Every structure is written in structure tokens, then in C-alpha cells.
Amino acid sequence: MDSKGGVLMHRYELGKLLGHGNFAKVYRGRNLETGMSVAIKVIDKKKIMKVGMMNHIKREISVMRLIKHPNVVQLHEVMASKTKIYFVLEYVKGGELFDKVAKGKLKEEAVKKYFKQLISAISFCHSRGVYHRDLKPENLLLDDGGNLKVSDFGLSALAETKRQDGLLHTSCGTPAYVAPEVIDQQGYDGEKADIWSCGVVLFVLLAGFLPFHDSNLMEMYRKIGRAEFKFPKSFPTEAKSLVAKILDPNPITRISVASILKHSWFKTGLVSEPRKLEMETTATEQMVSSDFGNHFDLVESMQASSLNAFNIISMSRGLNLSGFFNDNNEDDNELRFMLKQPLTNIIIRLKELAKSMNLKLKITNGEMVKMESSVLAIDFEIFEIMPNVHLIEVKHLGGDRLEFREILNKSIKPALSDIEHMKSLRVATTS
């Protein structure tokens, strides 16, 4: 490993090996400055390049930087050397949910808690145009407080990867948890496929075994396609109704997340949803470039503690962050600006902008601004990179895309450009 004396890039102390796969090893680590425990995923660049998985890794980073939610494992930093890529992740020490269900079915009260947290996380992922595509108890971790954390976005997809028919076409996932339309290979809605997998997880937690199982894989697929399964006698009556609606083999009539939230079993004992976690993007997440080459090697030669996005952008006029996250930069459905202005100035300008366009304005925690009308919704997310330097992301959330692009070019760009001191960075849509 590219580390010296058990210390990675002068920033993290490496501990015991937690697990390993074909292309990566995961270690426990400790931030030397804060003492915080982390998990460090070490990926062999040569191996992934040999099998053509570089885009796979880039997509995983792109996905994880979009998802900041209390029930999703957080990506703190991405670093790299000439031979390795390092994911610095939230350390979740409670183990896999699978370990609990492997001992038998769980109590209904505990299942309800886990399922609500799972739906909260997946709903947030979908709102960001991210589909997990491999939801199963092995990918659901528990922290020391017993809270669920969705992990392993290695098979996830972004909305932008849909074809012209609006569907995903890559068959992936774990057979027993995969939706019938994914098996059919005719194209599928990533949101509906994730909901099916959530239903299988719910069944497993309450029953202690899989709804679809057979030693013959094709026979198991047949059962999945027809939704042939039986509830055990001990299965809660209200939960049966919900599972039946989720494990509907027809994705068109399958229950939606919005309807799951209204279901009587789900609502019973419902506690307030955890506050959406909009953590500041760390320096290294902000600076990742369009490849894992020279720019990453540059990062290793510097002190990570003093490195931030402002430094990286200032060092090179040619360093464009956008290419790393998307290969196609033709759509103007999201803009990213770096503004050398205090937050108060930015908020004032956004208020003026909303007023000029007759849009309703909603501000959350001073960092999330939404503008909306009956036909359009726009999101402005603000991150502080360093004192009086902010990153602002402008996204199309809903409504007519042509109208959004017109407003983007005629109103938003001019309004922000006259207060920006750095070049805006365009990236493709994630909506």
C-alpha cells in the first residue's frame, strides 16, 4: 500500500483489515487530526483498468457525492496515488443487517424502524436521480445506535444513464432480490426496481427467510416473475398487505414510495423523519478531476489538511471538475458556480432573482434554496469551501426542461455571473 509507517498521505492511520474483494480491500482507519474512525476502501488502479472498470469507479464516486443522508454511508474523501484509489468512508461498526436476520426473523418493532429508515434513504436517492440496484441485508449496515445505513453503491445507476425510452437496461443485482422486469431484460424503471428489492428485504426481516428461493435459478426466476410466494402464519397481517403491494410483478401497478409512506403498517408508530443531512462536501470530493492521473498524483504530494477546492482550481486554469462526473456535457440542466462572496450576499441575490421571476422562495438552514411555481422547481445548494468562498449548485428539480433552460440562460446565469469571481463549471443533469 502507498503509505508510510501505517499512515496514509499524512492524514489517516491505517488499522486492521475489515474485508476484501477482487479489486479492493477495506481497512479501519483513524483521522490523525480529529481522531474520528473511518473505513478506507483501497482500490487497485491497475486491476480495475485492466478489466475496464474505471467508469464503474467514477460512477460510484459521482453517485456517493450526491447522497448526503443520515441513513446512507457517507463518502468523506477520495484520494489517490499512482497505483491506488482511496475512498474514505463513514465507519459503521454495527455490522450488516444480514447478521441479525441470519439468526432468524426480527421483532416487528425493529423491522418497522429499519424499513422506515431504508425507505427514507432510498426515497432521497431517487430524488437525486440515483438508483441503488442491489438492495439486500448484506448492503444494509447498522451503526452503534442501531440505525440503518445503506452501503455499496457499486451497481448503482444515475438517471442520466437511461436510454431514450427512459428506462435502464443493465441487468444487475442479487438474483433473489431482483425485480422481475430486470430479469426480463426489456428495460426497467430504476425506482420501481429498488422498491421491489425493499419489499423482499421487508419480507426477509419479518419472515426470517426469502420469499423466492429455489436451487434451480430459472425456477426461482419463474417464481419471481409470477410473484409466487407464501407468508408464514406468524407474518403480521397489516404488513402482508404492504408486501403484496410491493411485490407486484407489474411495475406499473406496483406501489410507489409515496403510497408506502401512507400505508397503515408503515404509519403506525411513525416517528419524525431524521433531518436531511446536507453535509459540506469535503475538499477532496470537490477537487476530483476528469481522470485518476496527474491531478490525483498532485494531491498526494500536498498536505491534505491544507488542501481545498479553491486551492486546486487556482493552481490550474485547465482543471475542469465537470468531466470527472460526466462524459457528456451537452445538457445545461445543472450549473455549478464558485462564488467569492459571503453567504448573505448570495442569499440576497437569490431573493431578488426569485422575485424577478415570480417564483416562490424557500430557504432551509441557509444552505438549501428552492424556487418554485406551479410548473417549475429549481434547487440551489450552497457549500462553504473556505471563508467567503462558496460553491453553488443550480439544479432542475421538476417541471418543463425547456422553460428551465431558458430561465437558466436568461436569468440565473446573468444574476450569478455578475457577482462571481471564478469561472462557472458546467456538469450534466442528475435530475
DSSP state of 279: P
Distances in whole angstroms, Cα of residue 46 to Cα of each of 87, 288, 293: 16, 19, 12
**Following DSSP, what letter does each residue of 181-249 receive, concatenated?**
HHHHTS-B-HHHHHHHHHHHHHHHHHHSS-SS--SSHHHHHHHHHHT-----TTS-HHHHHHHHHHS-S
Q: Tell the residue number behind the cell numbers 479489486, with chain if given.
A: 23
Contact between residue 30 and residue 12 where contact means Cβ atoms under 8 Å apart: yes
Question: Would you call 13 helix, strand, or coil by DSSP?
Answer: strand
Distances in whole angstroms, Cα of residue 60 to Cα of each of 53, 64, 129, 131, 364: 11, 6, 13, 11, 28
Closest CA to 150 of 167, 128, 180: 128
Question: Would you call 404 helix, strand, or coil by DSSP?
Answer: helix
Catalytic site includes residue 134: yes
Q: Per the structure block, which three cell numbers stand in for 227? A: 410473484
Is 41 annotated in some ligand binding site?
Answer: yes
Ramachandran angles phi, psi of 230, nearest 5°: -125, 140
The catalytically annotated residue of 134, 248, 332, 379 is: 134
Q: Per the structure block, which three cell numbers stand in for 299? A: 494531491
Q: Which residues are catalytic?
A: 134
Annotated binding site for ATP: 41
Annotated binding site: 41
